[in-house]
Amino acid sequence: MSLLQKLFKQTFIYGLATVLPRMLSFILVPLYTKVMPPGSYGEVTLIYAWFAIFNVILAYGMETAFFRFYNTSEHRKSVAGTALISIGASTLIFVVLAL
């Protein structure tokens, strides 16, 4: 496989993982507004917004670093363990601080 084909394939996969959840959210808006009263839909939307904010804060770009080093490293278990421990510890710290 040529380098350009590999680039397009990886870009497509990464892009799909980024775009698909947003498209799904957009497509489901009519269903949500039909099933839920406006107040409940507003609460759900607010919760989703908070999840998006906390996802950025708690993950701090670790998924990008994980994929970069996992694909190029000989020590894949170490890379996966470090990412898991790092995100788990920071999440635990933020949860304790939130209480």
Model pLDDT, residue 91? 85
Q: Give the whole-angstrom CA distance, residue 3 versus residue 9.
A: 10
- Given a cut of 90, whether residue 27 has pLDDT beyond it is yes
Question: Which contacts qualify for 53-56: CB closer than 8 Å, 24 or more apart?
Answer: 54/94
Which amino acid is located at 61 in the chain?
G
Instruction: Tell me: pLDDT of 64 over 90.
Output: no
Taking residues 82-92, report their average pLDDT: 89
Q: What percent of the chain is predicted at pLDDT more than 90?
A: 5
Task: Classify 89 as helix, strand or coil.
Answer: helix
pLDDT given for residue 5 in this prediction: 87
How many C-beta neighbours within 10 Å does residue 79 have? 19
Number of C-alpha atoms within 13 angstroms, CB side, residue 13? 6
Percentage of the chain surpassing pLDDT 70?
A: 100
